[in-house]
């Protein structure tokens, strides 16, 4: 059963000064998979996302997308002495793409604490995410050249389709922040999809949702995966969601990977139970 | 009735175009007619100063709003960029025979004048072709002024735009000061005339010129803001991290916004030079930038309409309507305190009040639209009726509650004052021991 | 030796003006540390302090004028805080900055109104303006007094911040505004004290500065204010020793440039320095790095 690999994170260590936020993390996402990344609060899950999307440069390790290295780093300068992780010296290159370049290569994300564009409408929020694929230059766009007009019309149509899929077309002209919380989360996903990603990173998409809404979200994520032909890596605390749709799960604790496997294996793994519930001394 | 109020009616696109075109022609025609009929000796001739300077300021303020309001870049280099534009225009526009009298202490390096060259090339002074040539030269030079400013902004942007909000503000302010110093430097005297005036270059006399030029430039800025690039700018303003995560190249777009804003600021600077008929680097200080920023705030950060209204209001107040404050007379009485400068003090106070109590400005982030105007007038009767119907009730309620409120205010006044005084004088001098005691006490209390 | 006698006057002037910048810079750095606000009005307050001395000295003897200037400047600083910054405590940072710019605009126009745009001459403080000889270079007494006074004041201030309860509160607030509020620290009191200290030092700075450069214009506050702010950034904003070192560096370099006959560029140098430091080490000499939370 060999699937096409989409994301390969190898030996990532992220250190802020002396604090190790992510410790030697390796994980893989294959085409069409929905993968879960779980762990107690402060385990370094979001930091891992930030490394994958280029917000932070890792202290050591590499990230490859479809076999192409997008992020690679090794301890340099002051970090040489401070470095506490493993695999020192394994990586030689330094390559850290900026988040926008990584998004262009096909990684889109949502944020744990919703980051919509506050001063813009729902429709505009989605349109912005399509801007990077715009071919007309700033002159064409400003003076409304024929090509720019066609592109703009196409963008608007695509954006409308996305909004329809998320049942947001009625709120099209509302300010994004005026939406109810659950819809804001949906809009974030719609916006991420507008970048036409191959890999979608969802950071706690079900946070603050009730069981019914989470169940709907599960179906939505599966539908997205099928319709847009992409892979999903999600951080989630709702075990019902994670266990329900993820094919494989990675568990982080204190930055380090403590378990991986399918939902059943994870549920019965003593280390995972210990990390979540603690253990009697 | 109420249903009609709720559903805002929309006009068709065609009607809007016709309305806009009619409005523009009407304004231009009105200005032209007024110009023909108001003699320069009349006190109403102030109107034209306001129109000219207001139009120029509108352009500069709108381009500042493009940066501050639409891209979220708190840049304070505006005065410096205006200065570049003004000089770039003036230096190349001074006629050859006037150069010696302008550059009294230096040997002028630029030995030609663009408008003059074109006048001669197209038929010489006095002919129709010559006049056209001069206009063409002036317009080419204004574009040139914009391009030079944009080019310098590009270079400045390379380091500056990588900085975060307040550092960006201070660094751009710093660059503006450096620009001012360089233009006043003796070493460049043969180009910039050092710290002396540049003058005798072609200027405009009709208010129509700045109105049309500013109008065109602002229209282009509006088109830009409404394009996909404009949306990307707004995304950067609202959330840089999310914008970058959605594939917006932060640096490229900030640079675009910065350069375009500076281009139009440069054109504005060139027009200011023409308006003043002389250029000198001295007034282009940080204070000028502050003034422009305050106009942006008065109009509404993120509203082009607001910036335009704000500019005309600001100029009208400072040049015309508040003049009486400087003239030592108040309601027919002599007032010593109303001597020159008083106007500006009052003005600054008004501005602070706007910033404090009305921080959304005149327009907030809203824009002018024909739909808005029509709906306003259509619903006006309904709203007026509702307002006056509710008025008696509200007044009664207010006056009923008033005595109680006054009594309460004076009753609590002594205790509030003593509380404030205690707070300020009480515990400012605590030694180390004291503080340990205090924390102990607090822990005990808990 | 010849080299020394040529440059010594400039170095002395640099140390002196550097100390005066330092006194202003502390106000900037402390306010920024706590409110994350560039107090654009601070430089103008310094100028107003100078003008107050001018006007008070026409009616009162100096020994009353100077203490009165200190008191009035402190009151002005606190008033500005209460009127212009306190109502905006929860507003976006840009609004407070704009308010600060508004206050600066107001103070400058007020000064313009009061002076009629004419330069005012600062009252002569005999003791400070006395000429003294240092290694053959003649200079004013103020040149010698400034660095000593600065060091004394800075030491006192650092002690205050390190050892008193209010100092501890200030450190806590500058570390985390909201949490300190939740921990029961009276934010407004801390901010008031910050403004008291900042204005007090700016007033002392103005006495020393204008004894050296006796002409006061409404715009006199602008340049020293900006330079002091650059000094604060150079030293790492929020750090008091950093601001003082930055101020001395700027003061001395500026005067050396004047000595090299490049007076025009002495002001521009400050900003070149600012831009270099922001490029190379945006946190300044002693600043701490902040990591953006995503």
pLDDT digits (tens, 9 = 90+) for B29-53: 998 888 888 887 777 888 888 999 9
Q: How confident is the model at residue B423 (pLDDT cuts 50, 70, 90)?
A: low
A102, containing H or E segment: helix A99-104
ipTM, 2 dp: 0.91
Q: Which residue has the tokens 């954006």?
A: A159
Closest CA to A132 of B241, B230, B235, B247: B247
> What is B143-176 written as a DSSP string?
HHHHHHHHHHHHHHHHHHTTS-HHHHHHHHHHHH
Please give the residue that has the higher pLDDT: either B342 or A53.
A53
Chain C partners (3+ C-beta pairs within 8 A): A, B
Q: How many residues does chain A have?
A: 281
Q: How close is the nearest chain C Cα to the Cα of B339, in Å?
A: 8
What is the pLDDT, as a whole number, of residue B359? 76
Residues of B in contact with A98 (CB under 8 A): 244, 249-250
What is the pLDDT, as a whole number, of residue C223? 83
Q: Does A110 touch chain C (CB under 8 A)?
A: no
How far is Cα B80 from Cα B281, in angstroms, rounded to an integer? 9
Q: Is B9 exposed, middle or buried (0-12, 13-18, 19+ CB in 10 A)?
A: exposed
Q: What are phi and psi of C5, to 5 degrees?
A: -70, -25
What is the pLDDT, as a whole number, of residue A17? 80
Q: Count the helices and strands in chain A (H runs, E runs).
A: 11, 11
Q: How close is the nearest chain A Cα to the Cα of C289, in Å?
A: 10
Q: Does B165 touch chain C (CB under 8 A)?
A: yes
What is the pLDDT, as a whole number, of residue A7? 93
Residue B416's alpha-carbon distances to B411, B426, C190, in angstroms, are 9, 15, 19
The answer for residues whose C-beta is within 8 angstroms of residue B63's C-beta and 6 or more apart is B217, B221, B260, B261, B262, B263, B264, B265, B268
A116: pLDDT strictly greater than 80: yes
In C, minimum Cα distance to B75 occurs at C94
Q: Does B423 touch chain C (CB under 8 A)?
A: yes
Q: How close is the nearest chain A Cα to the Cα of B32, in Å?
A: 29
* Candidate from A113-117, A182-186, B136-140, B193-197 with smallest mean pLDDT: B193-197
Residue B368's alpha-carbon distances to A72, B294, C177, in angstroms, are 50, 20, 40
How far is Cα C24 from Cα C229, in angstroms, rounded to an integer? 8
Q: Does B419 touch chain C (CB under 8 A)?
A: no
CB atoms within 10 A of CB C257: 20
Q: Which residue has the tokens 């959330």?
A: B239
B431: pLDDT strictly greater than 70: no
Q: How confident is the model at residue A1 (pLDDT cuts 50, 70, 90)?
A: very low
The verdict on residue B385 lying in a domain is: no
The structure tokens listed for A95 are 């390559």
What is the pLDDT, as a whole number, of residue A280? 60
Check: CB of residue B210 under 8 Å from CB of residue B271.
Answer: yes
B444: pLDDT strictly greater than 80: no
Size of interface B-C (CB pairs under 8 A): 146
Check: CB of residue A256 under 8 Å from CB of residue A24.
Answer: yes
Q: Does C258 touch chain B (CB under 8 A)?
A: no
Q: How many residues does chain C have?
A: 294
Burial code (b: 16+ CB inside 10 Å, e: under 16) for A204-234 equals bbbbebeeeebbebbebbeebbeeeebbbbb
Nearest residue, CB atoms, A98 vs list B227, B244, B246: B244
Check: CB of residue C206 under 8 Å from CB of residue C49.
Answer: yes
Mutate which of B156, B159, B161, B167 to disrupt the C interface (most C C-beta within 10 Å)? Answer: B167
In C, minimum Cα distance to A50 occurs at C294
How far is Cα C103 from Cα B356, in angstroms, rounded to an integer? 11
Closest CA to A96 of A62, A122, A132, A144: A62
Q: How close is the nearest chain B Cα to the Cα of A225, in Å?
A: 19
Dihedral (C-alpha) C235, C239, C242, C247: value to the nearest 10 degrees? 80
Residues of A in contact with C290 (CB under 8 A): none
Please give the residue that has the higher pLDDT: either C176 or B333.
C176
A194: pLDDT strictly greater than 50: yes
A231: pLDDT strictly greater than 90: yes
Question: Are the Cβ atoms of C294 and A50 closer than 8 angstroms?
Answer: yes
What is the pLDDT, as a whole number, of residue C289? 62
Sign of CA dihedral B130, B132, B138, B140: negative
Mutate which of B238, B357, B359 to disrupt the C interface (most C C-beta within 10 Å)? Answer: B359
What is the pLDDT, as a whole number, of residue B329? 63
What is the pLDDT, as a whole number, of residue B430? 41
Question: Are the Cβ atoms of C294 and A55 closer than 8 angstroms?
Answer: yes
How far is Cα C225 from Cα B315, in angstroms, rounded to an integer? 28
Residues of C in contact with B347 (CB under 8 A): 109
Residues of C in contact with A50 (CB under 8 A): 294
What is the pLDDT, as a whole number, of residue B348? 85
Q: How close is the nearest chain B Cα to the Cα of C220, in Å?
A: 12
Q: How confident is the model at residue B437 (pLDDT cuts 50, 70, 90)?
A: very low
What is the pLDDT, as a whole number, of residue C119? 85
How far is Cα C16 from Cα C57, in angstroms, rounded to an integer? 24
Question: Are the Cβ atoms of B247 and A103 closer than 8 angstroms?
Answer: yes
Burial code (b: 16+ CB inside 10 Å, e: under 16) for B230-261 equals bbbbbbbbbbbbbbbbbbbbbeebbbbbbbbb
The verdict on residue B275 lying in a domain is: yes
What is the pLDDT, as a whole number, of residue B187? 83
* Candidate from B139-153, B309-323, B431-445 with smallest mean pLDDT: B431-445
Check: CB of residue C77 under 8 Å from CB of residue C196.
Answer: yes
Beta strands (DSSP E) in A176-255 are 199-203, 231-235, 248-253
The verdict on residue B43 lying in a domain is: no
What is the pLDDT, as a whole number, of residue A100? 93
What secondary structure letter does DSSP report for A114? -
Mutate which of A138, A143, A194, A195 to disrupt the B interface (most B C-beta within 10 Å)? Answer: A138
First to last CA, chain A: 42
pLDDT digits (tens, 9 = 90+) for B286-328: 889 999 999 999 899 989 999 999 999 999 988 888 777 776 6
What is the pLDDT, as a whole number, of residue A179? 92
Residues of B in contact with A191 (CB under 8 A): 246
The structure tokens listed for B411 are 């009753």
Q: How confident is the model at residue B332 (pLDDT cuts 50, 70, 90)?
A: low
B162: pLDDT strictly greater than 70: yes
B83, containing H or E segment: helix B78-93
Percent of chain B topping pLDDT 70: 89
pLDDT digits (tens, 9 = 90+) for B369-392: 888 888 888 888 888 888 888 888
What is the pLDDT, as a whole number, of residue C215? 86
3-state class (DSSP) for residue A120: coil
Check: CB of residue C6 under 8 Å from CB of residue C67.
Answer: no
Question: Are the Cβ atoms of A142 and B249 closer than 8 angstroms?
Answer: no
pLDDT digits (tens, 9 = 90+) for A12-62: 999 888 888 999 999 999 999 999 999 888 888 999 999 999 999 999 999
B440: pLDDT strictly greater than 60: no
**What is C15-280's CATH topology?**
ABC transporter involved in vitamin B12 uptake, BtuC (1.10.3470)
Mutate which of C104, C164, C273 to disrupt the B interface (most B C-beta within 10 Å)? Answer: C164
Nearest residue, CB atoms, B340 vs list C102, C116, C233: C116
Interval A63-75 mean pLDDT? 91
pLDDT digits (tens, 9 = 90+) for A240-280: 888 989 999 999 998 899 999 999 898 888 888 888 777 66
Residues of C in contact with B160 (CB under 8 A): 275
Q: How confident is the model at residue B342 (pLDDT cuts 50, 70, 90)?
A: confident
Q: How confident is the model at residue B8 (pLDDT cuts 50, 70, 90)?
A: low
What secondary structure letter does DSSP report for C122? P
Q: Which domain holds residue B176?
A: 49-299
CA angle A179, A180, A182 (to 5 degrees): 115
In C, minimum Cα distance to A15 occurs at C291
What is the pLDDT, as a whole number, of residue B422? 66
How far is Cα A222 from Cα A218, in angstroms, rounded to an integer? 6
Q: Which residues of A touch B (CB under 8 A)?
A: 53, 55, 98-101, 103-104, 108-109, 111, 115-120, 124, 127-134, 138, 141-144, 148, 151-152, 155, 191-192, 194-195
Closest CA to A15 of A101, A76, A95, A103: A76
Q: What is the pTM of this model?
A: 0.87
Q: How many residues does chain B have?
A: 446
What is the pLDDT, as a whole number, of residue A160? 94
The verdict on residue B192 lying in a domain is: yes
Give the domains, in start order, of chain A with CATH numbers: 1-106+197-281 (3.40.50.300), 115-195 (no CATH)
B341: pLDDT strictly greater than 50: yes
Distance of CA A92 to the CA centre of its chain: 26
Question: Are the Cβ atoms of C294 and A16 closer than 8 angstroms?
Answer: no
Check: CB of residue A25 under 8 Å from CB of residue A235.
Answer: no
Question: Are the Cβ atoms of C105 and B435 closer than 8 angstroms?
Answer: no
Residues of B in contact with C226 (CB under 8 A): 170, 173-174, 177, 286
Interface of A with C in 197-256 (CB under 8 A): none
* Candidate from A98-102, A153-157, B192-196, B375-379 with smallest mean pLDDT: B375-379
The verdict on residue B143 lying in a domain is: yes
Q: Walk along chain C (294 residues) and give the pLDDT tens digit of each residue.
A: 667 777 888 888 899 999 999 999 999 999 988 888 888 899 999 999 999 999 999 988 888 999 999 999 999 999 999 999 988 888 888 888 889 999 998 998 899 888 887 888 888 888 887 888 777 777 888 888 899 999 999 999 999 999 999 999 988 888 888 888 888 888 899 999 999 999 999 999 999 999 888 888 888 888 888 889 899 988 888 888 899 999 999 999 999 988 887 777 787 888 888 888 887 887 888 876 655 555
What is the pLDDT, as a whole number, of residue C287? 74
Give me the residues paired with residue A233 across strands. Answer: A35, A201
The verdict on residue B63 lying in a domain is: yes
In C, minimum Cα distance to B442 occurs at C184
pLDDT digits (tens, 9 = 90+) for B206-246: 889 999 999 999 999 999 999 999 999 999 999 999 999 99
Residues of C in contact with A46 (CB under 8 A): 294
Interface of B with C in 349-368 (CB under 8 A): 349, 351-352, 355-356, 359
What is the pLDDT, as a whole number, of residue A162? 93
In B, minimum Cα distance to C97 occurs at B166
The verdict on residue B173 lying in a domain is: yes
Question: Are the Cβ atoms of A16 and C291 closer than 8 angstroms?
Answer: yes
Question: Are the Cβ atoms of B224 and A138 closer than 8 angstroms?
Answer: yes
What is the pLDDT, as a whole number, of residue B4? 44
What secondary structure letter does DSSP report for B364? T
What is the pLDDT, as a whole number, of residue C62? 86
How far is Cα B96 from Cα B94, in angstroms, rounded to an integer? 6
Question: Are the Cβ atoms of B238 and A118 closer than 8 angstroms?
Answer: yes
């Amino acid at each position: 059963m060999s699937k096409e690999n989409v994301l390969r994170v190898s030996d990532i260590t992220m250190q802020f000064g002396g604090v190790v936020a992510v410790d030697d993390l390796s994980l893989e996402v294959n085409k069409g998979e929905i993968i879960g990344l779980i762990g107690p609060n402060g385990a370094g899950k979001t930091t891992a996302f930030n490394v994958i999307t280029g917000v932070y440069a890792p202290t050591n390790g590499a990230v490859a997308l479809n076999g192409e290295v997008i992020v690679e780093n090794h301890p340099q300068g002051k970090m040489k002495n401070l470095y506490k992780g493993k695999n020192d010296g394994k990586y030689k290159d330094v390559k850290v793409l900026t988040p926008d370049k990584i998004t262009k290569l096909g990684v889109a994300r949502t944020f744990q604490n919703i980051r919509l564009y506050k001063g813009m409408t729902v429709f505009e929020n989605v349109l912005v995410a399509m801007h990077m694929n715009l071919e007309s230059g700033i002159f064409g766009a400003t003076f409304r050249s024929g090509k720019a007009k066609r592109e703009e019309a196409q963008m608007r149509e695509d954006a409308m389709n996305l909004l329809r899929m998320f049942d947001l077309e009625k709120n099209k002209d509302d300010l994004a922040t005026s939406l109810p919380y659950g819809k804001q989360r949906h809009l974030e996903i719609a916006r991420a999809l507008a970048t036409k990603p191959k890999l979608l990173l969802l950071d706690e998409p079900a946070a603050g949702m009730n069981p019914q809404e989470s169940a709907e979200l599960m179906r939505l994520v599966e539908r997205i995966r099928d319709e847009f032909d992409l892979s999903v890596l999600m951080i989630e605390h709702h075990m019902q969601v994670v266990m329900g749709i993820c094919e494989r799960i990675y568990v982080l604790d204190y930055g380090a990977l403590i378990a991986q496997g399918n939902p059943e294996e994870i549920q019965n793994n003593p280390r995972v139970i210990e990390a979540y519930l603690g253990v009697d001394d | 009735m109420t249903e009609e109020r709720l559903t805002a009616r929309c006009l068709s696109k065609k009607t809007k175009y016709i309305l806009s075109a009619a409005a523009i022609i009407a304004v231009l025609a009105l200005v032209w007619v007024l110009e023909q009929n108001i003699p320069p000796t009349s006190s109403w001739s102030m109107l034209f100063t306001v129109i000219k300077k207001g139009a120029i300021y509108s352009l500069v303020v709108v381009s500042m709003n493009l940066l501050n309001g639409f891209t979220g870049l708190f840049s304070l280099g505006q005065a410096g960029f205006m200065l570049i534009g003004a000089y770039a225009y003036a230096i190349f526009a001074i006629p050859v025979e006037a150069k010696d009298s302008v550059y009294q202490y230096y040997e002028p390096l630029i030995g030609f004048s663009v408008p003059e060259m074109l006048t001669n090339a197209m038929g010489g002074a006095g002919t129709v072709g010559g006049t056209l040539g001069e206009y063409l030269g002036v317009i080419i030079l204004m574009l040139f002024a914009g391009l030079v400013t944009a080019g310098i902004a590009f270079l400045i942007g390379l380091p500056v735009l990588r900085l975060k909000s307040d550092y960006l503000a201070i660094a751009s302010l710093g660059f503006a000061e450096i620009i001012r110093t360089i233009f006043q430097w003796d070493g460049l005297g043969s180009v910039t005339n050092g710290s002396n005036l540049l003058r005798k270059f072609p200027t405009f006399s009709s208010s129509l010129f700045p109105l049309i030029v500013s109008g065109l430039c602002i229209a282009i800025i509006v088109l830009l803001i409404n394009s996909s690039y404009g949306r990307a700018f707004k995304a950067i303003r609202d959330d840089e991290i999310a914008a970058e995560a959605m594939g917006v190249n932060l640096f490229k777009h900030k640079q675009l916004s910065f350069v375009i804003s500076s281009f139009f600021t440069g054109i504005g600077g060139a027009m200011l030079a023409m308006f003043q008929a002389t250029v000198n680097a001295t007034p282009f200080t940080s204070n000028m930038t502050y003034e422009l920023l305050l106009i942006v705030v008065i109009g509404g950060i993120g509203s082009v309409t607001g910036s335009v209204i704000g500019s005309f209001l600001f100029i009208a107040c400072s040049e015309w309507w508040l003049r009486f404050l400087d003239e030592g007379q108040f309601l027919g009485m002599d007032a010593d305190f109303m001597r020159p400068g008083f106007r500006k003090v009052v003005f600054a106070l008004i501005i602070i009040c706007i910033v404090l109590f009305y921080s959304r400005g005149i327009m907030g982030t809203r824009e002018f639209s024909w739909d808005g105007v029509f709906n306003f007038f259509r619903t006006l009767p309904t709203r007026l009726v509702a307002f006056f119907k509710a008025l008696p009730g509200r007044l009664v309620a207010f006056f009923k509650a008033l005595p109680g409120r006054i009594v309460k205010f004076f009753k609590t006044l002594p205790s509030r004052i003593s509380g404030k005084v205690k707070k300020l004088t009480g515990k400012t001098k605590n030694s180390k021991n004291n503080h340990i005691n205090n924390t102990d006490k607090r822990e005990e209390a808990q | 030796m010849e080299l020394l006698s040529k440059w010594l006057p400039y170095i002395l002037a640099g140390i002196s003006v550097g100390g005066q910048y330092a006194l202003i810079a502390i106000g900037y750095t402390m306010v920024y540390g706590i409110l994350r606000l560039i107090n654009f009005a601070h430089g103008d307050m310094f100028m107003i302090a100078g003008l107050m001395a001018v006007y008070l000295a026409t009616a009162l003897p100096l020994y009353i004028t100077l203490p009165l200037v200190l008191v009035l400047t402190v009151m002005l600083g606190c008033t500005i805080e209460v009127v212009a910054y306190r109502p905006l405590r929860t507003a976006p940072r840009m609004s407070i900055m704009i308010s600060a710019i508004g206050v600066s605009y107001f103070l400058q126009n007020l000064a313009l109104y009061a002076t009629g745009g004419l330069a005012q001459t600062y009252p002569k403080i005999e003791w400070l303006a006395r000429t003294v000889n240092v290694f053959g270079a003649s200079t004013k007494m103020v040149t010698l007094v400034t660095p000593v006074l600065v060091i004394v004041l800075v030491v006192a201030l650092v002690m205050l911040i390190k050892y008193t309860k209010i100092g501890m509160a200030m450190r806590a607030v500058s570390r985390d505004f909201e949490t300190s509020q939740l921990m029961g620290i009276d934010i407004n009191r801390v901010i008031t004290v910050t403004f008291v200290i900042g204005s007090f030092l700016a007033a002392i700075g103005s006495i020393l500065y204008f004894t050296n450069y006796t002409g006061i214009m409404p715009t006199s506050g602008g340049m020293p204010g900006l330079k002091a702010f650059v000094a604060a950034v150079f030293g790492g904003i929020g750090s008091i020793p950093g601001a003082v070192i930055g101020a001395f560096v700027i003061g001395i370099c500026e005067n050396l440039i004047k000595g090299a006959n490049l007076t025009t560029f002495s002001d521009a140098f400050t900003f070149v320095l600012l831009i270099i430091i922001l490029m190379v080490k945006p946190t300044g000499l002693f600043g701490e790095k902040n990591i953006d939370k995503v």
